[in-house]
Amino acid sequence: MSTSTSTAPWRRAVVTGGAGFLGSHLCERLLDLGVEVVCVDNFASGAEANIAHLDDRAGFRLVRHDVSAPEWLNALGDGPYGLVLHFACPASPADYLRLPLETLDVGSAGTRNALALAHRDGARLLLASTSEVYGDPLVHPQREDYWGNVNPVGPRSVYDESKRFAEALVTAHAGAKGTDAGIVRLFNTYGPRMRAHDGRAVPTFVCQALAGEPLTVAGDGSQTRSLCYVDDTVEGILLVAASRSVRPVNIGGTDEVTVREIAERVIELTGSRSRLTFVERPVDDPARRRPDTTLVRELFGWEPHVPWPEGIKRTIAHFETPTVAGARRTS
């Protein structure tokens, strides 16, 4: 099934974390495909502004709840649902370091609850995992069969281990109960609706450049990332969701660039007079990150289409809009 068509194989879907950056784009895309969407979010890191434009759309409903608490299943109302996208989780360092126990809860109890819903309704569940399950990788590029190099007690462990446990839980549930469940490992997705100061490189650099402030590059900036524009990521997610694949699937950009290159390009595209300043590199920050996307390309024909400089332009344009610019200046 190609999600570029006007139809989808599901009539109703639940998106946990649907008011987050990526979740809101998924809600919007599903509605465009004619799917009724229930967005579940407790707004620990999501924002009402991300879904405000969906409030009046037919088939959209917001349930304000914590998916780690089983009561949220009752708040959904009668099913059945055909698709459960489990995307609830603080995803930026600023958020998961602020909410360490909540991050672990959503990966464990939250994932169990999402699986219970999918199993009850015979729905397809897709877990949003992350490139962070590979830790600071010793294998490059990272293939899905690489087990990773993760510090289980480091400052990033609340996020890394939450996702690793969630993957194990999804795999066990599929094996023990036959639940139709899959996993996508997402690499460095960026684009409109990211929060200005969430600690991730692209929104941080863009907001600093637009404000004329120094761009804070961690370490010497030689560490690499593989950026993937949000529209491409959403397309890949829905292709895997429409399949019966159980194995983890990497989704990410194929152009590997250094953090310094990203910062320098942001300065160029904004026309800013900002300069780079170098700050201490976070503990366990991955030195190199690039997904091996052979599997998703061969199984689903997916590949990213938006070059990262073009995606950066679109992201800058978002932060320059009057509403976002005003909020950025007062935050």
pLDDT(109) > 50:
yes
**pLDDT at res. 78:** 79
Residue 81: inside a domain, yes or no?
A: yes
Residue 60: inside a domain, yes or no?
A: yes
Active site residues: 159
User: In angstroms, rounded to a whole number, what is the distance separating the alpha carbons of residues 108 and 173?
Assistant: 13
Number of structural domains the chain divides into: 1
pLDDT tens digits for range 57-104: 999 999 999 999 989 998 898 779 999 999 999 988 889 999 999 999
Alpha-carbon dihedral of residues 195, 117, 125, 225, nearest 10 degrees?
30
- The average confidence (pLDDT) of the chain is 93
Residue 232: inside a domain, yes or no?
A: yes
Nearest residue to 54 (alpha-carbon basis) of 19, 81, 85, 80: 19
When pLDDT is averaged across residues 180-194 and rounded to a whole number, the result is 97
Residue 135: inside a domain, yes or no?
A: yes
pLDDT tens digits for range 112-164: 999 999 999 999 999 999 999 999 999 999 999 999 999 999 989 999 999 99
Residue 57: inside a domain, yes or no?
A: yes
In the chain, the percentage of residues whose pLDDT exceeds 70 is: 95
Banded model confidence at residue 326, pLDDT cuts 50, 70, 90: low
pTM of the model: 0.95
Range of the domain at 82: 12-189+228-254+288-306
**pLDDT at res. 3:** 46
Q: Give me the CATH number covering residue 163.
A: 3.40.50.720
Residue 117: inside a domain, yes or no?
A: yes
When pLDDT is averaged across residues 13-39 and rounded to a whole number, the result is 98
Residue 3: inside a domain, yes or no?
A: no
User: In angstroms, rounded to a whole number, what is the distance separating the alpha carbons of residues 184 and 128?
Assistant: 5
Banded model confidence at residue 203, pLDDT cuts 50, 70, 90: very high
- Rg (C-alpha) for the chain, rounded Å, is 19
Residue 91: inside a domain, yes or no?
A: yes
